Amino acid sequence: MTHYPTHTPILLSPPHLSGEEKRFVDEAFRTNWIAPLGPNVDGFEREMSEHLGVAQGARLACCATSSGTAAIHLGLILLGVKAGDVVLCSDFTFVASANPIRQLGAEPVFVDSDETSWNMSPVALRRAIETLVAQGRHPRACIAVDLYGQGCDYPALQAICDDYDIPILEDAAESLGASVHGRACGTFGRMAALSFNGNKIITTSGGGMLVSTDASLVERARHLATQAREPAAHYEHVEAGFNYRMSNVLAGIGRGQLSVLADRVARRRAIFARYEASLARRPGVRFMPEPVWSRSTHWLTAATLDPAAAGCTRDELLAALSAQRIEARPTWKPMHMQPLFAGCRMFAHDPARRPVSQRLFEQGICLPSGSAMSDEDLARVAHTIESALSPARAAVA
Ligand SMILES: *Cc1c(COP(=O)(O)O)cnc(C)c1O
């Protein structure tokens, strides 16, 4: 009798606990700090600012929030974004980068990726700014997104934005642990937003953080995130705030997770290297490039599949993986292709050609990249892909 193993599903990027989290969470329970704010929140902010700041020799201030999206929302408010403003944003990203722009009544204008980093194209950014400024619409801010664990070309983006005095908000939700020219992601621009959602490289189940070298900005974020309560016993308010702070229990999970971040990065990079070793030479397969100035975490291993050369479309590969209970996903659908943002402007890397982001989406796939994935599971995924890319050979085997 043939034995068919019943495989457990392999997920894209599930949470990976270390055991360290329990110590902090137990402490919260023991002391009854089951509230937003508390010693774990203070500790998590302090430890993150030390973690990110140490390489820069810079002092960073952090405000832990209920989500990464909340951190982006607060960041835009702090940059003075108001109804009617134009805000530049990476086109190739998750919708949470752009939603807060609309929620503030501002107009998102999307900027294409380039092929060398998959992140915001400096060429497209300059053209977008020049065009908008010529039309009298000086952009109020620029949200640059670090995709799939890789930072943007910040020296280039920053120089362009500096020419026009446009502040950058770094969306570092996917890039904690990465660096650009040796400098940590989460420290670029006027401020940065981190995410600790369940699928990110480290998690609090849900949460985020706003980071800046400008302590007064972060102080103001803290104020707005706690209902903008004035220091008075009777709850005095002069402006409308938000309930955007992180809970003390969840910050305990974050402290435990942060202590193993370096291990998590090493494992995700090793997973990428394993996929690359078995698949990079296949015709039509191209992994997300890592420029020499970038050290990516490879939070998600991402690649494109040119169907003409690979003999298999991206969707056929997704189906082959799904049949083996392996979760893979298309890359992010660009914002300019989303019904939500129909009618929004978009600046392509090369205006004479289709946007780069469109091809990266149509051919792009994210492979299982969870740091807890075993070598056996990783080999199973790689083998499934190899078979899907050579259907004839697989049928014979
Ligand atoms: C996850 C993510 C966010 C949002 O973070 P949440 O904590 O889920 O609100 C924002 N931007 C990008 C690029 C993300 O991947």
Q: What is the DSSP string of 144-207?
A: EE-GGG----HHHHHHHHHHTT--EEEE-TTTTT-EETTEETTSSSSEEEEE-BTTSSS--BS-
Q: Which 3 state secondary structure label does DSSP give 286?
A: strand
Residue 16 lies in a domain: no
Q: Which 3 state secondary structure label does DSSP give 124?
A: helix
Residue 12 lies in a domain: no
Gap between the Cα atoms of 76 and 81, Å rounded: 6
Number of domains the chain contains: 2
Gap between the Cα atoms of 38 and 55, Å rounded: 27
Residue 133 lies in a domain: yes
CA angle 100/105/109 to nearest 5° reads 70
- Nearest by Cα to 95 from 72, 117, 118: 72
Domain boundary among 228, 261, 294: 261
Nearest CA to ligand 1 atom 5: 68
Gap between the Cα atoms of 69 and 256, Å rounded: 22
CA 97 to centroid of ligand 1, rounded, Å: 7
Per the structure, the complete domain to which residue 373 belongs is given by 262-393
The contacts found for 155-163 with CB under 8 angstroms, 24 or more apart, are 155/180, 155/181, 156/122, 157/120, 157/122, 157/125, 158/188, 158/189, 160/122, 160/125, 160/126, 160/129, 161/125, 161/129, 163/129
Q: Each residue of 20-37: pLDDT tens digit?
A: 999 999 999 999 888 778
Nearest CA to ligand 1 atom 2: 173
Residue 234 lies in a domain: yes
Identify the helix (H) or strand (E) that includes residue 310: helix 307-310
- Nearest by Cα to 299 from 308, 310, 290, 286: 290
Nearest CA to ligand 1 atom 6: 68
Structure tokens belonging to residue 84: 């009617």
Q: Each residue of 199-252: pLDDT tens digit?
A: 999 999 999 999 999 999 999 999 999 999 999 999 999 999 999 999 999 999
Gap between the Cα atoms of 17 and 23, Å rounded: 12
Gap between the Cα atoms of 316 and 339, Å rounded: 25
Claim to verify: residue 373 and residue 230 sit in the same structural domain: no
Gyration radius of the chain's alpha carbons: 22
CATH code, domain carrying 314 = 3.90.1150.10
Pocket lined around ligand 1, Cβ cut-off 6 Å: 67-69, 93-94, 96-97, 145, 171, 173-174, 195, 197, 208
Claim to verify: residue 250 and residue 279 sit in the same structural domain: no
Residue 157 lies in a domain: yes
Gap between the Cα atoms of 10 and 326, Å rounded: 5
| Other beta carbons less than 10 A from residue 220's beta carbon | 16
- Nearest by Cα to 200 from 248, 143, 257: 257
Report CA dihedral (317, 319, 323, 328) to the nearest 10 degrees. Answer: 70
Claim to verify: residue 184 and residue 233 sit in the same structural domain: yes
Domain boundary among 230, 261, 292: 261
CATH code, domain carrying 32 = 3.40.640.10
CA 282 to centroid of ligand 1, rounded, Å: 32
Nearest CA to ligand 1 atom 1: 173
Claim to verify: residue 295 and residue 251 sit in the same structural domain: no
Claim to verify: residue 300 and residue 382 sit in the same structural domain: yes
Identify the helix (H) or strand (E) that includes residue 131: helix 122-134
Residue 330 backbone phi and psi in degrees, to 5: -65, 155
Domain boundary among 219, 240, 261: 261
Q: Which 3 state secondary structure label does DSSP give 295?
A: strand
CA 72 to centroid of ligand 1, rounded, Å: 9
| pLDDT by position in tens, the chain (length 397) | 455 556 789 999 999 999 999 999 999 999 988 877 889 999 999 999 999 987 666 789 999 999 999 999 999 999 999 999 999 999 999 999 999 999 999 999 999 999 999 999 999 999 999 999 999 999 999 999 999 999 999 999 999 999 999 999 999 999 999 999 999 999 999 999 999 999 999 999 999 999 999 999 999 999 999 999 999 999 999 999 999 999 999 999 999 999 999 999 999 999 999 999 999 999 999 999 999 999 999 999 999 999 999 989 999 999 999 999 999 999 999 999 999 999 999 999 999 999 999 999 999 999 999 999 999 999 999 999 999 998 654 444 4
- Nearest by Cα to 115 from 330, 349, 284, 310: 349
Claim to verify: residue 245 and residue 307 sit in the same structural domain: no
| Other beta carbons less than 10 A from residue 236's beta carbon | 10
CB 224 within 8 A of CB 63: no
